[in-house]
């Protein structure tokens, strides 16, 4: 009961659509809804594997993975890759996705995903049945179609998030709010 409640109230959770490759060369692609940036300098992201899944086995044995943006256009394929396929099944092939080469790591990217974050496995930390994977970012590839000038446009990215139960979400209302800088009352600025 506690975990269902926790997942229902810690929302929205961005999705790491993790591409990895086994020691035997089998491609794996799976969504993980416990995902975030862990460090700015050096750039590190993290995702959590609940249970010892193929993604976890692959990223720990090969030391590499790619996080592809899980966006609205790909929701059916993302959900399909959550299926517990056996380790010898190539999820790209199983759900009809095209893999494209990465720039700095061996696992491929999802060709139709507008963003790919290539990573080297930095370390893992286990908590009971869950393992947090930290990946040092080696490259970020972004399709020009989701850029607004030199910045990714969230309305064009259309990222998905997980909520409670089988609920998914997209970006709702956007609110822009500048941070308020502190000024020393004694200064003249």
Domains of the chain: 2-169 (2.30.110.10)
Q: Are strands 35-39 and 109-110 parallel, antiparallel or unpaired?
A: unpaired
CA distance 160 to 147: 18
Task: List pLDDT tens digits, range 52-98.
Answer: 889 999 999 999 999 999 999 999 999 999 999 999 999 999 999 99
Listed in order, strand segments (DSSP E) in 51-176 are: 64-69, 99-100, 109-110, 115-127, 130-142, 147-148, 151-152, 161-162, 168-169
Lowest mean pLDDT across 30-39, 105-114, 146-155, 177-186: 177-186
User: Would the pLDDT of 189 be above 80?
Assistant: no
For 39-61, what is the mean pLDDT? Answer: 95
Amino acid 186: pLDDT = 66
């Amino acid at each position: 009961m506690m975990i269902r409640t926790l997942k229902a109230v810690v929302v929205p959770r961005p999705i790491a659509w993790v591409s990895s490759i086994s020691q035997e060369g089998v491609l794996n692609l799976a969504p993980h809804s416990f995902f975030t940036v862990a460090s700015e300098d050096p750039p590190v992201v993290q995702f959590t594997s609940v249970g010892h899944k193929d993604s976890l086995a692959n990223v720990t044995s090969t030391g590499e993975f790619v996080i592809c943006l899980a966006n609205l256009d790909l929701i059916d394929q993302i959900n399909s890759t959550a299926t517990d396929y056996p380790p010898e099944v190539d999820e790209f092939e199983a759900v009809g996705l095209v893999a494209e080469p990465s720039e700095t790591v061996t696992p491929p990217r999802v060709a139709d995903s507008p963003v790919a974050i290539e990573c080297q496995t930095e370390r893992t930390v286990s908590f009971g049945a869950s393992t947090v994977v930290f990946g040092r970012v080696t490259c970020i590839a972004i399709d020009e179609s989701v850029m607004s000038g030199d910045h990714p446009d969230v309305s064009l990215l259309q990222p998905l998030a997980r909520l409670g139960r089988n609920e998914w979400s997209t970006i709702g209302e956007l609110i822009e709010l500048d941070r308020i800088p502190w000024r020393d009352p004694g200064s003249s600025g």
